[in-house]
Amino acid sequence: MRATQLLHDLGQSLWLDNITRDLLNDGTLKRYVAEFSVTGLTSNPTIFDHAIKNSSSYEHAIRESAAKGENGEELFFELALEDITRAADLFRPVYDRTNGVPAIEEAIFAGIPVNVTLLFSREQHLAAAEAYMRGVERRIKAGLNPKVGSVASVFISRWDTAVAGKIPTQLTNHLGIAIALRTYKAYVDLIGSPRWQRAFNEGALPQRLLWASTGTKDPKASDTLYIESLASPLTVNTMPEATLKAFADHGKAGATIPASGGDSEVVLNEFANAGVDVDALATRLQDQGADSFAKSWNDLLKVISSKSAALRTAV
């Protein structure tokens, strides 16, 4: 049995951190669903920027939309929604079988599923979870169905990249996992609390913890490091395509991580002694992530505009 199936059987959902029209057109995503137990995917401006910039698969759609006078954000959303709708159709059988903080609360209250992204610490995760719960509780009080899906995406590998070369050798590639273990303990404690249990009793769903940025950046480390280290029930691991294939090929699905957080506090204390201010670094990583997504969004719109202009000229 593939490691991906074993991980799925342990209770963790495997998502692909990528979407392109080529993945949809050539049947690759369909194969990942069938063979690698993939049950969802995530995307962001950077992923769409790379997809549209580096593929000719979008040119026909861009040409048709440009001919109708569409451009910029309007054209992008048309392209993105087509890809996402096609991907959702592939995942539909899976779910048929299994049946900014203020903005998070308002979206949940409005019944809109939310992927809260760019979280880097226990505290940031808890803030997102609190906003989710407030939205759910408002729906219950208003007599609305509280069953609104949400995930909270905590980024892992960027921690280790940020401190690479600045810490004792024995701590290399341990910070991201320690942050994840600390966050997982808070997550387990939260969903076991009387407040959450009351909401679940009304039909609410848990806001699932999602491990993001789980591709190994250090070429000296295992290419499945963050997948094997973060097996945990009632969570999601969204992984880059190369990491998904590597784990399916030679990964090992071992024991799940402890609900107690294991030795995370001991490890984080070692990082503190090495001069790493985890709270300050969490804020910096979140700010950098937001800046990076904003840059990718602007680059994406420029790519769409330039491709639209070029294709109009070629007609």
pLDDT (tens digit, 9 = 90+) per residue, 247-265?
999 999 988 999 999 999 9
What's the rounded mean pLDDT across residues 238-253?
96
What gap in Å lies between CA 119 and CA 282, rounded to an integer?
Answer: 8
Q: What is the pLDDT of residue 67?
A: 80
Q: What is the pLDDT of residue 101?
A: 81
65 has a pLDDT exceeding 90: no
CB-based contact 108:148 (threshold 8 Å): yes
Classify residue 208 as exposed, middle or buried by CB count within 10 Å of its CB (0-12, 13-18, 19+): middle
Least confident of 147-161, 170-184, 297-311: 297-311
Exposure b/e, 134-147, CB count within 10 A at least 16 = b: bbbbbbbeeeeebe
- Token couple for 4: 């991906």
Span 170-221, pLDDT tens digits: 999 999 999 999 999 999 999 999 999 999 999 999 999 999 999 999 999 9
The pLDDT, as a whole number, for residue 1 is 84
Q: Which domains does the chain have, with CATH numbers?
A: 3-314 (3.20.20.70)
CA distance 286 to 98: 34
Residue 300: per-residue pLDDT: 87
| The amino acid at 83 | D
Mean pLDDT, the chain, as a whole number? 93
Which pair of structure tokens corresponds to residue 154? 């905590």
Band the pLDDT of 267: cuts 50, 70, 90: very high
For 71-80, 92-101, 138-147, which range has the lowest pLDDT when averaged over its residues?
92-101
Tell me: pLDDT of 80 over 80: yes
State the pLDDT at residue 138.
Answer: 97
Task: Please state the pTM of the whole predicted model.
Answer: 0.88
Average pLDDT over residues 151-175: 97
Q: Which amino acid is at 7?
A: L
Residue 99 pLDDT level (bands cut at 50, 70, 90): very low
Say how far apart CA 28 and CA 272 lie, in whole Å: 44
Residue 69 pLDDT:
80
Percent of the chain at pLDDT > 70 equals 97
Residues 6+ positions from 140 with CB-CB distance below 8 Å? 146, 199, 202, 204
Query: What is the spatial distance between Cα 149 and Cα 7, in angstroms, rounded to a whole number?
Result: 22
Give the per-residue pLDDT at 244: 97
- Burial class of 306 by CB neighbour count within 10 A (0 to 12, 13 to 18, 19+): exposed
Give the Cα separation of 54 and 71 in Å (integer).
19
What is the predicted pLDDT for the residue at 315? Answer: 56
pLDDT at residue 38 tops 70: yes
